[in-house]
C-alpha cells in the first residue's frame, strides 16, 4: 500500500502535464536489476585461476571461477593503443553464444603488448607500457587494479559485485506455475547466482536436491528469470536469466559525468536510496527533469574527473542497463570536507560505480586519459568522431508539427524574408505523408513536392522531411510490401512479423540490424524512390508515370529526420518493443539500445548514396547509442515550454558532447505547451549558441513563427539568429575539429580548466571550443547573471561591448531582454562573417572579419577552416583551406596548416578587429607577392579596440599585418 | 585576389512616361530621389552626417557609414538598402544583404551583378502581368465598388425602413401603452362592482347559511329535549341528564349530581325555554342517544388525479420547451411568457376541489343574473387587458430586435448590413464550412457527423487603419487540451459574396477568406494604379 500511495501521490501532484511514471519500470520492477541490486558488496565468489593464464602479443587470457556454482568465465585483457585497457568477460562455455555488440567500434582496436612483471599464488602484475602503469590481477577474490606509480587509478570488482548470470537450461517447466512465497528475497538471489552447478556436481545435486527443485522453480517465477510481467505485458525469456554486472572504484574522484540521455545535471548524482541511472531507449511522454529515468537514447560512457586526471569507462553493451553511483564524500557537508582537509585525516574521496546489464557480455574500455582531450581522442579512436555536417545544417532550422501544406511552407518561407530573418531549413513532420506512409506525400496538401523543393532551392534553402521506422501495415503501400516480401521485418517471439501501434495505426518495424535491410532502406532515398504521392493515388491518376523524373518526390536539398526510433511502440511494454521480439537470432533484449543507431546509419547511408557518394548527409535522430555521432545530429526529444526545460538543455547537450555527440540541440521554444514571449526570446538566444539550432512545436500549440509576437520581439529573435549566422565560420571550424579529433564543440568549463575545481559542477554556462564562453539568461525576468570567467591571469572580452574582464572571477552582468552574455577568451582569434544573409549558402563567398582578442601578453591564436561546405571533397580530395592565424610580436599572420590540401575561395579578409590593442603608428599588410600596403585603421581608446580597414587579402593565402 | 569591387556607376535606361529614354548616371543602388547626395569626385558625407569619406569609398565594398549609406550598391553594410529601378515594373528597395547572394530579387537583375547567378530581366513580363491583374482587380474593384454603393444605398434604405418601422413601433407602443392603461382602468373599474357583487352574494349566502344552521340547532335542541325528558314531564331533570357521561366537565368518568346540576344552571330541572341556555353549554359534547358512526372518510381518487396532471406536465412539456430554447436564443422573453401561461394553466383545476369538499351538503347557489353579468363584464375587461399587454410585449420584442440590428456595426456606411441573417458555405474535401456573418462560423463533416461551432461573432478585428477587413469569431467549441475554437475571417474585394478558402493555421484557430463588394475601395484610375509609385 505504501509504495502505491506514493506513486499515486506522485502522479497526482505532478498534474496532467507530466510523465506518467507508472508506464516505466523502476529498478525494482525490472527483474534483473532487482536481483542484481540486492547483491551485497564484499562477498565476491569469483576467483582467478592463475594457472590458466595465457599471455600473447595482443592479449592476456585467464579463467575465473565462481566458487559457489563452479561456473567458469573467461577474462580477456587488452592493452589498447592510446592509453586504454579493454576488459572482456564472457562465459567460458556458454550454452549458446552471448550477444557481442557489432557495428559500434569503428575497427578492431589496435593493441600494444602487455608484459608480465611478476607472478605469485596471489596474483600477477603486468606492465601496461606507458608511464609506469601497472595492472594487478588479484586471484582471490578476483580483482583488477590499474595503477600509475603508487597510485591506484581504478579498480574492478573491488567491491565484489562482479555477477554473471550464466545461461542455463530450464528445469522447472511444471513446477514454475505453482505459487509459493516460502523463500526470502535474499535466498532467491543466492539461488540465482549459484544454481546450475558445474557439470561434475550436477548429477549429485539433482539427486540430493530433488525436493528443492519444486521450490526453486517457484522462485524462478518470483524473480522473473524465465518470465516477467509489467502492467499488461508479459516478457517471455526463453534464454532465462542472463544479466551481468561489474563494479568500478575510482579513488580520488568526486565528479563523474556522461551516460546520457538523462534530464539531469551535468555532474552525475549518487544513486543511493533511489533508482540507478537507467539506459534504455524509450519514448517518454512529457519527461520530467532531474531524475535518472531513461530517455530516448543511451550512451554507456562515463567520464571521471579530478584535478589530477580525467578517465573514461565505456561499457559496450546494448541491453537495458542500470548504473549505480555512490561516493564516500557525497554525504559530507562542505564543512565536514573542510575539517577532513584541515586535519589532514580522512580517507581519500572515492566514487564507486556499478554497471548492470540484462544480457550480453562484459566488454569494457577503460580510457586512462590523463587529460580530457586525451579521453575524447581515446573514445573517438574506438567509436569514431562526429559526422562533419553540411555547413547549412549548423544554421537555423524552422520546424513545426506541422506545416500544413505547400502554401503554408511558401508563406512561412516568405515570412522569413519579409522579416529579414535568416533560415536554412524548413521541416515537415509526419502530417506531410500520405496517411503516415513514409517516403510518400499527402496528395492533397503537397501535390507538387518538387515544385516546393525547387522553390526553396531557388532561395538557396533546404527542407527536412520525417521518415520514421514504423511502417504502416497496408498491402497497397510499396514500402510495406517490399519489406514484408523480403522478410525484413522484426519478428515476434513466435516467428511472425512483429506488429505494434504507432502513428499510422498497425505497423511493422524493419529489422535495421540486418545489413541487407539497411542497404535496401538506403536505396529508398534515391530521388526517384521517394513517392510524389502514394502508390494507390499514382496508379489511378497516372499509371504510366509513377517513376519518371517528372514525378519524383525528392531533390538534393531534401534531408531526413528519424523520429520514434527507440523504437516507439504505443501499445508495447514501456511504449517500446517487446524484449522477446526477434532480430534474426537475437532478441530485442540483447540489442535494444542499438536500434536507433542503425536507423540513422541506414538513412545517412541512403543520403550519401543518392548523391553518388559526393554529398554529406544530414540526418537528425531521437534515439542513439555509442557511435551515433558518426551519422548526424540528435536532439533532446519532446521537451516542454518551461524555463526549467530551457535550463536543462545545457547539461543535456554538455553530457552528450562529452561522449562524442557534439551535434546536439533542444527544441527551441519547447515542444509541449506554449512558451511566454520572454521564454521564447530567451530560448532563441540560448539556442543560437547551442550546436543544433531548431525551433519546434507541438501540433496543438498556437503558431510561433518569430514574427508573431510584435516588432520588438521579432527584432530580438532576428538579432539572436543573426548572431548565429555571423558566427558560422567558427561553428564550422569547431565541427571540423570534432570530426577530425573527437573534441566536443560545446564543452563544460572543466574540460579547458581541468584544475579549477570551481568549474567541476558548473552547468549553467559553457564553452564553445576553447574560445567562447556563453552564459545564457535562463531565468524568467532575469535582470542579471553571474558568470564565472575562468583562468587565473587570463582575460575575457565581452563580444558585444568589447569590455575586458579578468579571469578567475565571478562576474555579475546586468542584462536586458536583448542581452546574450558571450565572452571571447583573450589569446584567441575568431573568424566571423558580418554580412548576414537569408541563408548560409548565400553567405558562402562572403568576406571574413577576424576578431583578435589579445591575451595579457599580447598574444593570440586562432584558425580558419574553409571548404565547399557540403561535399566529401574535403576528405577524399583534400579540398579545403586550414590556416593558422596568430598574433605575436605586434604582427598578425596567416599561414597554412594543411600543406597537402588545396581549395580556392573567393572570400577575403574584410576587417580585422583587435581587442585589447594599443594604438599603432601604422599598419602594413604584407602579401606573398612581396607587396606591402598600408592599412587604414581606427582606434577606440576607451575600449582599446583597433579596427584595421579592409585588408582585402584572400582568405586562402599567406599574409602578415605588422603593427608599428 | 577577387576582393574589392570597383566603384561602379551604372547607366540606366529608364522609360519615361512619354516613351523616350534618357541616360542618368548615379551610383549603383541609389534611388533617383537621393542622387543629389552622391556627387562624383566630391567627398561623400554619410546621410546620417556621422562622417565624411572620399568619394572612391562609396560602393567600395567596405562599410564606412554607420547608416550604411556609403554602400548602396554592395552587401557591405548590414543595415543598407539597395534600390532597383525595375524599368517596366515597380521600383523597389531590397536589403543590402540580398545583393549578389545568388538569388534574383530585382526583376531588372541589377541586384545580381557579380554573383554568377543568371537572372532574366522579367520586369516587362511582370509589369504586363501586374497590369493585367491590376486591370482585372480594377474592374472587380470598379464593379464591386458600384455594388457597394448599391449595398450602401440598400442598407441606408433598409436602415431607414428599420428606423421608420421602429418609429412606427414606438408610436404603436405608445398607443398600446395607452390602451393597456385604459384597459387596466376598465378592468379595475369592472372588477370593483364584480368584487362587491361577489362579496354581497357571498355575504347573503353566509347569512343564509347561519340561518339554516340556527334552524338546525333548534331542531336538534328540541329533539334532545324530547330525548332527555324521559318522563315527558316537559322538564329535563338532573337525573335525566346524568346518564350522559360525555358531558362530564372534569372528564373523571362520573357525572355527579352537583356537576349535572351545574350543567343545568343550578336548577334541579329546566323547562324548554330554560333548556335553551343549558343547550348552548352542552351541545358540543352532547351525543344523541341513538347516534352511531362518524362521517365517511374523504375520497382519495381526486388527489391522485391532480398529482398525475403535475407529473405529466414535468415529463412532457419541459423538454420541448428547452429544445426550443436552444434553437433561438434570442427569444428569451417569449420563453418567460410561456412559463407564466403554464403556471396559470396549472392552477385552476386544483383550486375548486377543497371548496367542494368543505361544504358538500351546502353548495352556494349560482350568482344571480345581476352579479353574473358583472362578473362576465369584468372577465371581458381582464381578457382585453391581457391581450393588449401581450400586444405591447410583442411590439417591445420587435423593437428590441430592430434596435439590435440597427445598433450593429455594419461598417462606416452600413455596407455590411446585407450580410446580416445570411449564411455562406464552402465545401472542401472533408467538410462544409458555414459562415453566418455577425452570428457564427461552423464546420460540418461532409459524410456524417455533428456540426462543430468554430466561433460566435466577436468583433471587427482589422488593423487600425482598416478595421473592417477582418472579422473575429470566438468562443467556439472547446478543443481537447486546447483553447476554444475561433475563426478569423479576412475580407477582400470581390463582385460576389463568397467564402473562397478556409484553413487551420494553428490547432483550432481557423482562417477564412471571404470576398464581398462591401470592402471594395473606390478605384483609382488605372494609370494611377500602375504608375502611382514610380518615380517618373
pLDDT in tens, A114-127: 999 999 999 999 99
Cβ within 8 Å of residue A675, ≥6 positions away:
A641, A669, A683, A704
* Chain A neighbors of B480, CB-CB under 8 A: 700
What Å distances lie between residue A720 and A419, A424, A936, B247, B518, CA to CA?
14, 15, 31, 111, 43
Q: Quick one: pLDDT at residue A541?
A: 45
- Chains A–B, number of C-beta pairs less than 8 Å apart: 74
Q: Which residues contact A148 (CB under 8 A, 6 or more apart)?
A: A131, A132, A133, A134, A368
Q: Rounded to whole angstroms, what are the CA distances from B513 to A404, A632, B143, B175, B471?
A: 17, 42, 20, 48, 10
Element (H, E) at B301: helix B301-312
Is A699 in CB contact (< 8 Å) with chain B?
Answer: yes
Give me the sign of the Cα torsion angle B515, B516, B518, B521: positive
> Residue A448, Cβ neighbours under 10 Å: how many?
15
Confidence of residue A277 (pLDDT cuts 50, 70, 90): very high
Cα–Cα nearest to B489, from B454, B517, B464:
B454
User: pLDDT value at position B174?
Assistant: 86
Residue A894 distance to chain B (closest CA, Å): 15
- Residue at grid coordinates 482589422: B462
pLDDT of A425 higher than 70? yes
Q: Where are the alpha helices (DSSP H) in A48-184?
A: none
What was the pLDDT predicted at B256?
80
Is the pLDDT reported for residue B307 higher than 70? no
pLDDT above 60 (res B531):
no
Tell me the C-alpha distance between B273 and A709, whole Å: 110
Quote the cell numbers at residue A660. 562524442
* H or E element in which residue A319 lies: none
C-alpha dist (Å) from residue A723 to A198, A422, A734: 67, 10, 16
Residue written as grid cell 466561433: B455
Grid cell, residue A171, equals 528445469
**In which element (H, E) is residue B66 found?**
none
* DSSP codes, A157-218: STTS--EE--------TTGGGS----S-HHHHHHHHHH-S--HHHHHHHHHHTHHHHHHHHH
CB atoms < 10 A from the CB of A934, how many? Answer: 9
Q: Is A242 on the interface with B (CB under 8 A)?
A: no
Distances (CA, A) of B37 to A514, B10, B240, B317, B390: 71, 16, 146, 86, 81
Given the residues A223, A434, A638, A771, select the one marked as catalytic: A638
Contact A152, A146 (CB under 8 A): yes
Residue-wise pLDDT for A853-899, tens only, equals: 999 999 999 999 999 999 999 999 999 999 999 999 999 999 999 99
The grid cell for A115 is 608484459
The residues near B522 (Cβ < 8 Å, ≥ 6 apart) are B145
- Tell me if chain B has a CB within 8 Å of the CB of A640: no
User: Is the predicted pLDDT of residue B167 greater than 60, yes or no?
Assistant: yes
The reported pLDDT for the residue numbered B217 is: 84
| Region B374-379 average pLDDT | 88
- Grid coordinates of A899: 600543406
Let me know if A875 is a catalytic residue.
no
Residues A369, A309 contacting (CB under 8 angstroms): yes
Strands A123-127, A558-562: pairing is unpaired
B2 touches chain A (CB under 8 A): yes
β-pairing, A462-466 with A425-428?
Answer: parallel
For position B527, what pLDDT does the model report? 61
In terms of pLDDT, which residue wins out, A795 or A215?
A: A795
How far does the CA of residue B95 sit from the closest CA of chain A (Å)?
8
Which of A 849-908 lie inside 8 A of B, CB atoms? 906, 908
Mutation test of the interface with chain B: which of A442, A702, A869, A951, choosing the one with the most B Cβ atoms within 10 A? A702
Q: Which of A460, A700, A834 sits opposite B507 (nearest CB)?
A: A700
Q: Which of A172, A363, A468, A563 is catalytic?
A: A563
Out of A619-623, B14-18, B123-127, pick the least confident. Answer: B14-18
Cell (9 digits) for A324: 549505480
Q: Residue range B237-252: average pLDDT?
A: 79
Cβ-based contacts of A949 with chain B (< 8 Å)? 62
pLDDT confidence bin for A534, thresholds 50/70/90: very low
Mutate to test the interface with B, among A422, A950, A954, A957 (most CBs of B within 10 A): A950
Q: Which pLDDT does position B421 carry in this prediction?
A: 86
On chain A, the residues whose CB falls within 8 A of the CB of B94 are none
Contact B97 A444 (CB under 8 A): no
Tens of pLDDT, residue by residue over B245-273, are: 777 777 777 778 888 888 787 777 888 88
Give the separation between CA A91 and CA A361, rounded to whole angstroms. Answer: 8
> For residue A381, what are the contacts with CB-CB under 8 A and spacing of at least 6?
A81, A82, A84, A109, A742
For strands A396-398 and A425-428, give the pairing: parallel
Question: In this structure, what C-alpha cell is assigned to residue A666?
Answer: 533542444
Residue A838 to residues A363, A466, A833, A869, Cα–Cα distance (Å): 49, 24, 13, 16
> Which range is most confident: A469-478, B228-237, B413-422, B498-507?
A469-478
Residue A209 has pLDDT above 90, yes or no: no
Measured N-to-C along each axis, helices B369-407 and B332-346 cross at an angle, to the nearest 10 degrees, of 160
Residue B508's closest chain A neighbor by CA? Answer: A700
Neighboring chain A residues of B97 at a CB cutoff of 8 Å: 420, 835-838, 842
Contacts of residue A809, Cβ cutoff 8 Å, sequence gap at least 6: A788, A789
Please count the helices (runs of H) and the strands (runs of E) in chain A.
20, 52
Confidence of residue B326 (pLDDT cuts 50, 70, 90): very low
Mean pLDDT, residues A61-72 taken together: 96
User: What value does the mean pLDDT of chain A take?
Assistant: 91
Q: What is the mean pLDDT of residues B63-86?
A: 96
Q: Which pLDDT does position B528 carry in this prediction?
A: 62
Check residue A203 and give its pLDDT. 42
Start-end of H helices in A294-448: 334-343, 372-383, 406-418
A285 at interface of B, judged by CB pairs closer than 8 A: no
Closest by CA position to A722, among listed A368, A420, A392: A420
Q: Which residues of A touch B98 (CB under 8 A)?
A: 837-838
Best mutation target, A698, A699, A700, to test chain B (most B CBs within 10 A): A700
Q: Can you point out the beta strands (E) in B338-439? A: 424-427, 431-436
pLDDT tens readout for residues A755-778 = 999 999 999 999 999 999 999 999
Angle CA A15–A18–A22, to nearest 5:
95
Q: Are A670 and A642 in contact (CB under 8 A)?
A: yes
When computed from its CA atoms, the radius of gyration of chain A, rounded to whole angstroms, is 29
What's the gap in Å between the CA of B60 and the closest CA on chain A? 10
Residue B353's pLDDT is: 44
Tell me which residue of A959, A910, A933, A844 sits closest to B4, measured CA to CA.
A910
Of B78, B102, B508, which is closest to A842 when you measure between CB atoms? B102
* pLDDT band, residue B25 (cuts 50/70/90): low
CA distance A713 to A680: 9
Nearest CA-CA distance, residue A670 and chain B, Å: 16
Of A420, A699, A950, the CB nearest to B62: A950
Largest Cα–Cα separation, chain B: 163
Task: Classify strands A923-926 and A277-279 as parallel, antiparallel or unpaired.
Answer: unpaired
pLDDT at A456: 98
DSSP state of B316: I
Q: Do A907 and A850 form a contact (C-beta atoms < 8 A)?
A: no
For chain B, the average pLDDT equals 80
Residue A343: the pLDDT is 53
* pLDDT confidence tier of residue A330, bands split at 50, 70 and 90: low
Please say whether the beta carbons of B166 and B399 come within 8 A.
Answer: yes
pLDDT score for A191: 52
Which among B505, B508, B511 is the top mutation candidate for probing chain A, defined by the most A β-carbons within 10 Å of its own β-carbon?
B505
pLDDT of residue B68 exceeding 90, the answer is yes
d(CA A489, CA A514) in angstroms, rounded, equals 10
The verdict on A159 touching B (C-beta cutoff 8 Å) is no
User: Which of A404, A458, A953 minimises the CB distance to B503?
Assistant: A404
Handedness of CA A26, A27, A32, A34 (dihedral sign): negative
The DSSP output letter for B280 is: H
More confident residue, B153 or B283: B153
A8 has a pLDDT exceeding 60: no
Confirm whether A67 is a catalytic residue.
no
- Given a cut of 90, whether residue A346 has pLDDT beyond it is no
CA atoms A707, A713, A715, A716: torsion sign:
negative
Among A523, A695, A494, A491, CA closest to A607: A523
CA A126 – CA A78 distance, rounded (Å) = 11
* Window A:775-834, CB contacts with B under 8 Å: 834
The segment with the largest mean pLDDT, out of A251-260, B137-146, B388-397, is: A251-260
Tell me if chain A has a CB within 8 Å of the CB of B117: no
**CB burial class (10 A; 0-12, 13-18, 19+) of residue B53?**
middle
* pLDDT confidence band for A189 (50 / 70 / 90): low
Cβ contact, residue pair A953, B3, below 8 Å: yes
Rounded CA separation B376/B447 (Å): 62
Contacts of B59 in chain A (CB under 8 A): none
pLDDT of residue A542: 43
Contact B78 A459 (CB under 8 A): no
The least confident of A271-275, A462-466, B298-302 is B298-302
Mean pLDDT of B13-41: 68
pLDDT at A613 over 80: yes
A231-235, A460-464, A894-898, B368-372: range with lowest mean pLDDT: B368-372
Strand, helix or coil at A500? strand
Q: Is A908's CB within 8 Å of B1's CB?
A: yes
Non-local CB neighbours of A473 within 8 Å, separated by 6+ positions? A480, A499, A505, A506, A507, A508
Whole-number percent of chain A with pLDDT over 90: 85
Contact A213, A172 (CB under 8 A): yes
pLDDT computed for residue A188 by the predictor:
52
- Among A168, A155, A187, smallest CA distance to A225 is for A168
- The pTM score is 0.81
Per-residue pLDDT, B262: 81
Q: Do A838 and B482 touch (CB under 8 A)?
A: no
Give pLDDT, residue B161.
86
Of A460, A837, A911, the CB nearest to B97: A837
pLDDT at A527 over 80: yes
Q: What angle do CA B465, B469, B474 make, to 5 degrees?
A: 115
* Sign of the C-alpha dihedral computed for residues B138, B141, B144 and B150 taken in this order: negative
Amino acid at each position: 500500500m505504501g509504495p502505491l500511495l506514493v506513486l499515486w501521490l506522485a502522479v497526482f501532484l505532478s498534474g496532467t502535464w507530466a510523465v506518467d511514471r507508472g508506464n516505466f519500470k523502476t529498478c525494482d520492477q525490472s527483474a534483473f536489476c532487482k536481483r542484481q541490486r540486492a547483491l551485497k558488496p564484499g562477498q565476491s565468489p569469483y576467483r582467478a585461476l592463475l594457472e590458466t593464464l595465457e599471455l600473447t602479443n595482443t592479449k592476456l587470457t585467464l579463467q575465473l571461477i565462481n566458487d559457489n556454482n563452479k561456473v567458469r568465465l573467461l577474462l580477456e585483457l587488452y592493452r589498447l593503443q592510446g592509453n586504454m585497457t579493454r576488459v572482456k568477460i564472457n562465459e567460458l562455455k556458454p550454452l549458446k553464444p552471448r550477444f557481442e555488440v557489432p557495428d559500434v567500434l569503428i575497427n578492431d582496436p589496435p593493441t600494444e603488448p602487455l608484459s608480465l612483471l611478476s607472478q605469485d599464488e596471489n596474483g600477477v602484475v603486468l606492465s601496461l607500457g606507458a608511464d609506469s602503469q601497472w595492472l594487478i590481477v588479484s586471484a582471490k577474490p578476483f580483482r583488477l587494479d590499474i595503477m600509475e606509480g603508487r597510485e591506484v587509478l581504478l579498480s574492478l570488482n573491488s567491491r565484489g559485485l562482479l555477477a554473471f548470470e550464466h545461461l542455463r537450461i530450464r528445469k522447472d517447466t511444471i513446477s514454475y506455475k505453482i505459487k509459493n512465497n516460502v523463500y526470502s528475497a535474499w535466498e532467491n538471489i543466492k539461488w540465482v547466482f549459484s544454481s546450475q552447478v558445474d557439470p561434475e556436481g550436477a548429477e549429485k545435486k539433482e539427486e540430493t536436491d530433488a525436493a528443492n527443485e519444486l521450490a526453486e522453480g517457484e522462485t524462478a517465477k518470483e524473480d522473473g528469470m524465465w518470465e516477467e510481467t509489467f502492467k499488461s505485458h508479459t516478457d517471455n525469456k526463453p534464454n532465462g536469466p542472463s544479466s551481468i554486472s561489474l563494479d568500478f572504484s575510482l579513488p580520488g574522484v568526486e565528479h563523474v559525468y556522461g551516460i546520457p540521455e538523462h534530464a539531469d545535471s551535468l555532474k552525475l548524482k549518487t544513486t543511493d536510496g533511489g533508482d540507478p541511472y537507467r539506459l534504455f531507449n524509450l519514448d517518454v511522454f512529457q519527461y520530467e527533469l532531474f531524475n535518472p529515468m531513461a530517455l530516448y537514447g543511451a550512451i554507456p560512457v562515463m567520464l571521471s574527473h579530478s584535478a589530477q586526471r580525467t578517465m573514461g569507462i565505456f561499457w559496450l553493451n546494448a541491453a537495458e542497463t542500470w548504473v549505480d553511483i555512490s561516493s564516500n564524500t557525497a554525504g559530507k557537508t562542505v564543512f565536514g570536507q573542510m575539517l577532513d582537509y584541515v586535519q589532514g585525516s580522512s580517507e581519500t574521496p572515492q566514487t564507486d560505480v556499478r554497471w548492470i546489464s540484462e544480457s550480453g557480455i562484459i566488454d569494457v574500455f577503460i580510457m586512462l586519459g590523463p587529460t580530457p582531450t586525451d579521453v575524447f581522442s581515446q573514445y573517438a579512436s574506438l567509436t569514431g568522431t562526429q559526422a562533419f555536417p553540411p555547413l547549412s545544417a549548423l544554421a537555423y532550422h524552422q520546424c513545426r508539427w506541422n506545416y500544413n501544406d505547400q502554401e503554408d511552407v511558401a508563406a512561412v518561407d516568405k515570412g522569413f524574408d519579409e522579416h529579414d530573418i535568416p533560415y536554412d531549413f524548413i521541416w515537415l513532420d509526419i502530417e506531410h505523408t500520405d496517411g503516415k506512409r513514409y517516403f510518400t506525400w499527402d496528395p492533397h496538401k503537397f501535390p507538387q513536392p518538387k515544385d516546393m523543393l525547387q522553390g526553396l532551392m531557388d532561395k538557396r534553402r533546404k527542407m527536412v522531411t520525417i521518415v520514421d521506422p514504423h511502417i504502416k501495415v497496408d498491402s497497397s503501400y510499396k514500402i510495406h510490401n517490399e519489406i514484408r516480401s523480403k522478410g525484413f521485418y522484426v519478428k515476434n517471439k513466435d516467428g511472425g512479423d512483429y506488429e505494434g501501434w504507432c502513428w499510422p495505426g498497425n505497423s511493422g518495424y524493419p529489422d535495421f540490424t540486418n545489413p541487407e535491410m539497411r542497404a535496401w532502406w538506403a536505396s529508398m532515398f534515391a530521388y526517384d524512390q521517394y513517392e510524389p504521392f502514394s502508390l494507390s493515388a499514382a496508379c489511378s491518376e497516372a499509371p504510366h508515370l509513377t517513376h519518371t523524373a517528372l514525378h519524383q518526390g525528392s531533390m538534393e536539398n531534401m534531408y531526413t529526420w528519424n523520429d520514434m526510433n527507440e523504437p516507439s511502440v504505443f501499445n508495447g511494454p514501456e511504449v517500446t518493443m517487446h524484449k522477446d521480439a526477434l532480430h534474426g537470432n537475437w532478441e530485442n533484449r540483447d540489442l535494444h539500445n542499438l536500434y536507433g543507431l542503425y536507423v540513422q546509419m541506414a538513412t545517412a547511408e541512403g543520403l550519401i548514396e543518392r548523391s553518388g557518394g559526393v554529398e554529406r548527409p544530414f540526418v537528425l535522430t531521437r534515439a542513439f547509442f555509442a557511435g551515433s555521432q558518426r551519422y548526424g545530429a540528435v536532439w533532446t526529444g519532446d521537451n516542454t515550454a518551461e524555463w526549467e526545460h530551457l535550463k536543462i538543455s545545457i547539461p543535456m547537450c554538455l553530457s552528450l558532447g562529452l561522449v562524442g555527440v557534439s551535434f546536439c540541440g533542444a527544441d527551441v521554444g519547447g515542444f509541449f505547451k506554449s512558451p511566454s514571449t520572454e521564454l521564447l526570446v530567451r530560448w532563441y538566444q540560448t539556442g543560437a549558441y547551442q550546436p543544433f539550432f531548431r525551433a519546434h512545436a507541438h501540433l496543438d500549440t498556437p503558431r510561433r513563427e518569430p514574427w508573431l509576437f510584435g516588432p520588438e520581439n521579432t527584432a530580438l529573435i532576428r538579432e539572436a539568429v543573426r548572431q548565429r549566422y555571423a558566427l558560422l565560420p567558427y561553428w564550422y571550424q569547431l565541427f571540423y575539429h570534432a570530426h577530425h579529433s573527437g573534441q566536443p564543440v560545446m564543452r563544460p568549463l572543466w574540460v579547458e580548466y581541468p584544475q579549477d575545481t570551481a568549474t567541476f559542477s558548473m552547468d549553467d554556462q559553457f564553452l564553445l571550443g576553447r574560445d567562447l564562453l556563453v552564459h545564457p539568461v535562463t531565468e524568467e525576468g532575469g535582470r542579471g547573471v553571474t558568470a564565472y570567467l575562468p583562468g587565473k591571469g587570463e582575460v575575457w572580452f565581452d563580444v558585444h561591448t568589447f569590455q575586458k574582464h579578468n579571469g578567475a572571477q565571478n562576474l555579475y552582468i546586468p542584462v536586458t531582454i536583448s542581452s546574450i552574455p558571450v565572452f571571447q577568451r583573450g589569446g584567441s582569434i575568431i573568424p566571423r562573417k558580418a554580412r548576414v544573409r537569408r541563408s548560409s549558402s548565400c553567405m558562402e563567398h562572403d568576406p571574413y572579419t577576424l576578431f583578435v582578442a589579445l591575451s595579457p601578453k599580447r598574444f593570440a591564436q586562432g584558425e580558419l577552416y574553409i571548404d565547399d561546405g557540403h561535399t566529401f571533397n574535403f576528405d577524399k580530395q583534400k579540398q579545403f583551406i586550414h590556416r593558422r592565424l596568430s598574433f605575436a610580436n605586434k604582427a598578425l599572420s596567416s599561414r597554412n596548416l594543411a600543406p597537402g590540401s588545396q581549395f580556392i575561395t573567393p572570400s577575403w579578409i574584410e576587417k580585422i578587429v583587435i581587442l585589447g590593442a594599443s594604438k599603432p603608428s601604422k599598419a602594413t599588410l604584407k602579401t606573398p607577392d612581396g607587396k606591402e600596403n598600408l592599412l587604414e585603421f581606427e582606434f577606440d581608446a576607451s575600449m582599446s579596440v583597433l579596427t584595421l580597414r579592409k585588408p582585402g587579402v584572400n582568405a586562402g593565402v599567406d599574409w602578415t599585418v605588422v603593427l608599428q | 585576389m577577387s576582393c574589392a569591387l570597383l566603384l561602379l556607376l551604372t547607366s540606366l535606361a529608364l522609360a519615361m512616361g512619354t516613351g523616350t529614354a534618357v541616360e542618368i548616371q548615379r551610383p549603383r543602388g541609389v534611388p533617383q530621389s537621393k542622387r543629389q547626395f552622391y556627387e562624383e569626385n566630391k567627398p561623400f558625407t554619410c546621410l546620417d552626417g556621422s562622417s565624411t569619406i572620399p568619394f572612391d569609398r562609396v560602393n567600395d565594398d567596405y562599410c564606412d557609414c554607420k547608416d550604411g549609406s556609403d554602400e548602396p550598391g554592395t552587401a557591405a553594410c548590414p543595415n543598407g538598402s539597395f534600390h532597383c529601378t525595375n524599368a517596366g515594373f515597380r521600383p523597389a528597395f531590397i536589403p543590402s544583404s540580398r545583393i549578389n547572394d545568388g538569388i534574383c530579387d530585382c526583376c531588372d537583375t541589377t541586384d545580381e551583378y557579380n554573383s554568377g547567378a543568371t537572372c532574366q530581366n522579367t520586369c516587362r513580363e511582370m509589369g504586363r502581368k501586374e497590369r493585367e491583374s491590376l486591370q482585372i482587380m480594377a474592374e472587380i474593384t470598379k464593379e464591386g465598388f458600384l455594388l457597394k454603393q448599391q449595398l450602401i444605398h440598400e442598407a441606408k434604405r433598409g436602415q431607414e425602413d428599420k428606423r421608420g418601422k421602429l418609429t412606427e413601433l414606438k408610436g404603436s407602443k405608445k398607443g398600446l401603452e395607452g390602451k393597456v392603461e385604459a384597459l387596466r382602468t376598465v378592468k379595475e373599474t369592472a372588477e370593483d362592482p364584480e368584487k362587491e357583487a361577489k362579496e354581497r352574494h357571498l355575504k347573503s349566502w353566509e347569512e343564509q347559511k347561519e340561518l339554516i344552521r340556527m334552524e338546525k340547532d333548534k331542531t336538534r335542541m328540541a329533539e334532545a329535549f324530547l330525548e332527555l325528558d324521559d318522563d315527558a314531564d316537559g322538564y329535563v331533570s338532573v337525573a335525566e341528564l346524568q346518564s350522559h357521561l360525555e358531558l362530564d366537565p372534569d372528564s373523571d368518568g362520573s357525572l355527579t349530581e352537583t356537576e349535572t346540576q351545574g350543567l343545568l344552571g343550578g336548577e334541579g330541572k329546566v323547562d324548554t325555554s330554560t333548556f335553551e341556555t343549558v343547550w348552548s353549554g352542552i351541545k358540543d359534547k352532547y351525543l344523541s342517544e341513538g347516534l352511531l358512526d362518524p362521517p365517511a372518510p374523504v375520497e382519495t381518487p381526486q388527489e391522485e388525479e391532480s398529482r398525475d396532471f403535475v407529473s405529466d406536465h414535468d415529463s412532457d412539456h419541459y423538454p420541448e420547451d428547452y429544445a426550443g430554447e436552444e434553437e433561438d436564443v434570442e427569444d428569451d422573453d417569449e420563453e418567460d411568457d410561456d412559463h407564466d401561461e403554464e403556471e396559470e394553466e396549472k392552477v385552476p383545476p386544483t383550486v375548486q376541489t377543497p371548496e367542494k369538499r368543505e361544504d358538500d351538503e351546502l353548495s352556494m347557489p349560482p350568482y344571480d343574473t345581476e352579479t353574473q353579468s358583472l362578473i362576465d363584464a369584468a372577465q371581458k375587461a381582464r381578457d382585453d387587458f391581457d391581450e393588449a399587454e401581450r400586444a405591447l410585449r410583442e411590439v417591445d420584442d420587435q423593437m428590441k430586435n430592430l434596435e439590435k440590428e440597427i445598433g450593429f456595426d455594419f461598417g462606416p456606411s452600413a455596407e455590411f448590413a446585407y450580410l446580416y441573417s445570411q449564411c455562406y458555405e464552402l465545401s472542401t474535401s472533408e467538410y462544409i464550412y458555414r459562415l453566418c456573418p455577425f452570428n457564427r462560423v461552423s464546420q460540418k463533416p461532409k459524410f456524417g457527423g455533428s456540426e462543430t461551432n468554430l466561433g460566435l461573432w466577436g468583433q471587427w478585428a482589422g488593423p487600425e487603419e482598416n478595421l473592417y477587413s477582418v472579422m473575429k469569431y470566438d468562443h467556439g467549441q472547446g478543443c481537447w487540451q486546447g483553447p476554444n475554437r475561433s475563426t478569423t475571417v479576412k475580407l477582400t474585394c470581390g463582385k460576389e459574396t463568397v467564402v473562397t478558402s478556409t484553413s487551420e493555421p494553428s490547432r483550432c484557430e481557423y482562417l477564412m477568406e471571404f470576398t464581398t463588394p462591401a470592402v471594395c475601395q473606390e478605384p483609382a484610375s488605372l494609370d494611377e494604379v500602375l504608375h502611382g509609385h514610380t518615380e517618373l
